[in-house]
Amino acid sequence: MSSKIIRAVLAGQPNSGKSTVFNNLTGAHEHVGNYPGITVEWHTGSRKYKETTFELTDLPGTYSLSAYSDEERVARDYIINGDYDFVIDIVDASNLERSLLLTLQLKELGIPVLVVLNMIDLARKNGMNIDKDALSAQLGMPIVECVGYESGAVGAILDAAESLFDALGESGSKSALKLNAEELTKPKPTEEEVAVTTARLEEIKRMCSAAVTSRPKEGPSWSDKVDAVLTNVWLGIPIFLFLLYLVFQLTFTLGEYPMGWIESGFEWLGDWVSGFWAESEESLLKSLIVDGIIGGLGGVLVFLPNILLLFLAIAFLEDSGYMARAAYLADNFMKYIGLHGKSFVPMIIGFGCGIPAIMATRTLSSRKERLITMFIIPWMSCGARVPIYMLLVPAFFPEAYQAWVMWGLYVLGIIVAIIVAKIMSVFVIREENAPFIIELPPYRFPTFRTVGIHTIERGWLYLKKAGTILLGISIVLWALATFPRLPESESEKFEAQRAPIAQKLDELKEANPELETLAKDRDGVQEERDGVEEDAALADAEKEKKLAELDGQLAKFNEQLATYDDLTGQIEEIDNQEAEEQLANSYSGRLGHLMVPVIRTMGFDWKIGTAIVGALAAKEVFVAQMGVVYSIGEADEESESLRDIMKKNYPPLVGLSILVFCLLSAPCVATFAIMVKEAGWSWAFAQFITCTIVAWVISTLIFQVGTWLDIGTKLLM
């Protein structure tokens, strides 16, 4: 028996829960949140239920079929031209009157509709009692009540959908209709259309009065009371900034422990792989695995816990309904820079990734607002920059200030975006602003499922990116930093310096065979000392006593090993010089040296130069490249964390300069490509150049002023 195929499309007003229902029905993981304007493209998914296959399409939200913004146009065009059997109209039951406008328009066009009263629990909680059968009779459409994310919704909706399909038969489905949709494609409403809309609203009011009874409102609701504080003109912005600070504090403090474990894991892995070759053995394969893959990719992967925590916190804020309030608050100052609060939604999405953020500007109906918002999105610090912050902030700033520095970076990005937007709205694009209307959804406690899915998805994306594009880039970066090899004459020069010292060391070891054992014992004592120093449980007096004892032992060892240390130190110095020269001679080194005249003003050396070029491919590559160049450029076999390496080689002022440059510089190549698609080549290039110049100027200012005032110019270790 061949199974039925039913093609339905999920339509509804923004924030009515279409994507939540879609995810529940198809098992997909579309991004959902408790604020309008997240879905800007249509998505398809399928579900096999009983003997029937459902092919479902999730559309962006639209208040009516008279579309004004791009994403509303996507929904309207699909409803008019799409090939499907009927519409599943997702209606927010707690906002019934307003939500039925779209339903009525669909009815007038003769499109078969199944109405799903979503969030029925919330409607009941608000004291609404909806007589489903009466409303169904008024609308002439079947109605299902549900709570979109609950498993029970699946059976209820799909059973009703199948019944509707059977009732319609072949001739009754939408695909058999020819719609006269001319009135829906006009750019602006005429007076006549406004009158029609008013009549529709009157009709809806009449229907609702017959089918809905509401408990009279007893004073302000819990949501209203919270809003009185969170959206207060004076308190709102400080609360928003404080919440942002809390998010970063959480990311740093909780993320530090698992990060340390992963870091130790990669250090162990590097040492274990190195163990397959003799210590003095030169092997390209060893270098590729240890320096290129483990050094580069490992440097990026250790920040996975921080990424997960950051997105967990953002998903929590999104799902609670707070982000819509943030957009409302933002409108107060956004209007002064030629934008309005609606632009803030893509900007918030930009904290995750610039690509969906640029896509999300489709919700803006004015061309001016759309272009300016797209233009400033790269300054919203995206998730790909987080590994750079996680590497550099703890390396150069004391623990108490780390969350503040990160907070400051995000705020700096927002301030630069505001200034550029203002300049653009005054000098570049001059058009009238559209009025700002945003729906403030009710507050709700985020569901574990939604927050969990969003967080895991971000983590999975990060891992996937690391396992594919970042792995590929790490390997290529390693090759660029390894080839061409030093000319033989140069290698011989180093060998000539090394040989007599190595001979002396061998003679010393022969005469004193116990030296190597002594050196190992000393390492053991040093490790014990480090452990005692970090032991917080130990009383001060006891700690001091133990440290004094261990220092005494170390001094004895150092005395016995003085000549041995001197000779091994000299060899290590020559090895490091050779590795450094090899790196400078590589393609990567040559490119970096070419950049030095331009980047020197920011305090960057050629190694950082190569990393900022690599970061154009993907921001995380900055970390990978620093891992690769320092793994290849240092002959030391002992693994050292990249943070320690950075601390050892650069003063805090350079660290800050790098952070600011990475925050403000041009977006990654994928964001550039999406900008080309959405705004054209000229805007994409203008954005690229502006970002680069702004980043260079501000980083140069920070470094030059800091050097002049002598702040943070000394190495920390």
Applying CB under 8 A, the residues found at the interface with other proteins are 26-31, 41-46, 55, 57, 81-83, 275-278, 281, 283-285, 288, 353, 355-356, 359, 457, 460-461, 464, 468-469, 471-473, 475-476, 478-479, 617, 669-670, 673-674, 676-677
Name residue, tokens 């943030």.
326
- Burial readout 601-634 (b: 16 or more C-beta within 10 A, e: otherwise): ebbbbbbbbbbbbbbbbbbbbbbbbbbbbbbbbb
Cis, bond preceding 484 (omega within 30 deg of 0) = yes
Q: Which two tokens stand for residue 125?
A: 């909680």
CB–CB of 554/522 below 8 Å? yes
Q: List helix spans (H) across 351-487.
A: 354-360, 367-376, 386-396, 399-423, 448-465, 471-482
Closer to other proteins by Cβ: residue 278 or 693: 278
Distance CA 698, CA 689 (A): 14
Q: Which two tokens stand for residue 339?
A: 């934008």
Rg (CA), the chain: 31
Q: Which two tokens stand for residue 501?
A: 């010292």
Do the strands 128-130 and 113-118 form a parallel or antiparallel pair, or are they unpaired?
unpaired
Minimum distance from CB of 676 to other proteins (Å)?
A: 8
Q: How far is CA 632 from the centre of its chain?
A: 30
Distance CA 292, CA 582 (A): 15
Element (DSSP H or E) covering residue 643:
helix 642-649
Distance CA 644, CA 670 (A): 31
Minimum distance from CB of 428 to other proteins (Å)?
A: 26
Name residue, tokens 């403090």.
253
Q: How far is CA 234 from the centre of its chain?
A: 29
Do the strands 86-92 and 113-118 form a parallel or antiparallel pair, or are they unpaired?
parallel
Of 701, 710, 670, 706, which Cα lies nearest the Cα of 688? 670
Distance CA 325, CA 333 (A): 14
Closer to other proteins by Cβ: residue 423 or 469: 469
Tell me if residue 232 falls in helix, strand or coil. Answer: coil
CB–CB of 381/351 below 8 Å? yes
DSSP characters over 400-414: HHHHHHHHHHHHHHH
Of 519, 634, 638, which Cα lies nearest the Cα of 567? 519
Do the strands 43-49 and 113-118 form a parallel or antiparallel pair, or are they unpaired?
unpaired
CB–CB of 57/82 below 8 Å? yes
CB–CB of 698/601 below 8 Å? no
**CA 180 → CA 87, 108, 381, 383, distances in Å?**
17, 11, 46, 46
CB–CB of 583/632 below 8 Å? yes
Phi, psi of 11 (to 5 degrees): -120, 165
Q: Which residues touch 8 (CB under 8 Å, ≥6 apart)?
A: 54, 55, 56, 57, 84, 85, 86, 87, 88, 114, 161
Distance CA 125, CA 128 (A): 7
Closer to other proteins by Cβ: residue 239 or 290: 290
CB–CB of 664/691 below 8 Å? yes
Closer to other proteins by Cβ: residue 404 or 587: 587
Distance CA 679, CA 699 (A): 28
DSSP characters over 111-129: --EEEEEE-HHHHHHTTEE
Closer to other proteins by Cβ: residue 46 or 497: 46
Q: What angle do CA 296, 584, 485 make, to 5 degrees?
A: 85
